[in-house]
Structure 1
């Protein structure tokens, strides 16, 4: 079976083309002013990007995968997040996909520093994360159906604050596996990471505390 293109970090492009936008665009839209300009870091194929455009937000999409960006229908930039310096600022910088839970502390610092460098005075950074309770409760076999894609988490291994697993996707006769490793952050560690990048926690943006906003310190 042809699984299509994969990004350098193992993301199956075809899966992300099939996944629906979910709740993310609504959460972002409710947390920011009408028509706010958005820089989306790690946009992928534009799953969230295109929904935000429909909600009236001008969006610049950033991803380091040209295969992903080939499907984005707005201004885009192919770049690693840590290397990005556009010389422009935005009302909102979006750091989704639980990127703040990256296993490497240096990567987390770099992602947040890039976000801070591109947020306008009076603007905010919106961040999606795995809260500590997710790390405590997640188990093999957890998943569900997203649009036409079945998603299941398997092979979970815990090592201190690190959690490794494989996401298994299937749609019809097609299937894909995506391994990942992420790091548990407590609130004190999260606040310290934000402060190190010149940001300060503002508020929770979702009832389940999976999204929050930060502002320039």
Structure 2
């Protein structure tokens, strides 16, 4: 499967770069935050999870450690090579059709904000296609000030600095976002396209895929649990 760089996406820095500009080595270094705890608190113990866009397994690994059974999907073979303890499947998310369903489908990393509307529709259809009856879809949204509180930076206790440098309109409601990660021994940058979605626009997009919001799991509205309509 040949992967082509996605329009408007670019990454720089050491090591392999995925078509959407993600650096494999960078994501292998980034620590995981509270996300696994948020996810685990919303799920029944031992649930079967389909993780869409797993990357190197930053969330896969702590979920496996918490006793969940995870199937990790990513289009990058270099990313999937870092995943341990989970079944791995290489595929673009929007094309995935496994012919099976899961207790939970996980779409994190703000993927629902992809700039391409047709790709977003494909992502959400994949979620709806793979969630079992009575199961749920967990989706991570951008925060309300994601594109406006800029530039901003976070100095991690482990010794690197993450910056969102800019978010510039790129036409048709899409923004071009530029991020930078500075480590003592390396610097990575990523430029990608994202489509801001209001709460109403987000819920409308879910509805088009046959999904409806069950609850907002966090006060900032970033984590959402959805069900089949």
TM (normalized to structure 1)?
0.94
- Counterpart contact for 1:38–1:59, Cα < 8 Å: yes
Equivalent in 8, 16, 29 of residue 40 of structure 2: 29
Q: Indicate whether 1:216 and 2:228 are aligned.
A: yes
In structure 2, the residue matched to 1:61 is: 72
List per-residue Cα deviations over 1:14-57 (Å, max 9, x = no partner): 01000112111011000111111100000000000000001110
User: C-alpha separation between the residues in 2 aligned to 1:115 and 1:132?
Assistant: 24
In structure 1, the residue matched to 2:53 is: 42
In structure 1, the residue matched to 2:19 is: 8
- Counterpart contact for 2:16–2:23, Cα < 8 Å: yes
Shift in alpha-carbon separation, 1:134–1:155, aligned structure 2, 3 A:
closer
Equivalent in 146, 149, 161 of residue 134 of structure 1: 146
In structure 1, the residue matched to 2:83 is: 72
List per-residue Cα deviations over 1:104-156 (Å, max 9, x = no partner): 11111100000110000000000001144433x32013333274432111133
Question: Which secondary structure does the structure 1 equivalent of 2:89 belong to?
Answer: strand
Question: Which secondary structure does the structure 1 equivalent of 2:54 belong to?
Answer: coil
In structure 1, the residue matched to 2:205 is: 193
**Which ranges of structure 1 fall in alignment gaps of 5 or more residues?**
none
- Counterpart contact for 1:20–1:146, Cα < 8 Å: no
User: C-alpha separation between the residues in 2 aligned to 1:46 and 1:7?
Assistant: 15
User: C-alpha separation between the residues in 2 aligned to 1:175 and 1:13?
Assistant: 13
CA RMSD of aligned residues (A): 1.7
Equivalent in 120, 125, 129 of residue 132 of structure 2: 120
Question: Which secondary structure does the structure 2 equivalent of 1:142 belong to?
Answer: strand
User: C-alpha separation between the residues in 1 aligned to 2:155 and 2:65?
Assistant: 27
List per-residue Cα deviations over 1:129-186 (Å, max 9, x = no partner): 1144433x32013333274432111133135732222110122120111101111111
- Counterpart contact for 1:132–1:185, Cα < 8 Å: no
After superposition, residues 84-163 of structure 1 pair within 5 angstroms as 84-135=96-147, 137-145=148-156, 147-159=158-170, 161-163=173-175
User: C-alpha separation between the residues in 2 aligned to 1:133 and 1:150?
Assistant: 20
In structure 2, the residue matched to 1:176 is: 188
User: C-alpha separation between the residues in 1 aligned to 2:87 and 2:43?
Assistant: 20
- Counterpart contact for 1:19–1:148, Cα < 8 Å: no
